[in-house]
Structure 1
């Protein structure tokens, strides 16, 4: 994973678990690497939530995407956890 990083890497984004082929990424290791390099780390935990342990503090996750229907919430509802201090800018303004 470290070989894939460049000096201009601004974000690391990884799917924690793949629902089609079953791949599980080492998010704790990737999070540690991201934190050491000062790069924000996002993980898509939609398929992983409720199936594997994910701890945003322990795993150094700055941004975490979830889908409600994967843990008994309504379909179409999602969430984005944003660690305090991580700045994100809207891509679209207004509504």
Structure 2
């Protein structure tokens, strides 16, 4: 990631856009990040939208905390809880086809 002061960026926006083709460019003001320039050709727009959604990011961070603390559930446990197998519902698999 590269940082550039906001006044300098305003003077050379074209150069900034060219830099952003290679890496994310962060604009700073008084040494604090205030904006970022990202080449969309290298970024999935849905991911970019989600990564700027504070509610979504809270969900992700909570999930990461649960994983770090070992609060996970195996696929087998989930299937057992739902009464299913990896191939789908166990009752559906044993059923005869309808005629």
TM-score by length of 2: 0.29
* Structure number with bigger Rg: 2
Higher helix fraction (1 or 2)? 2
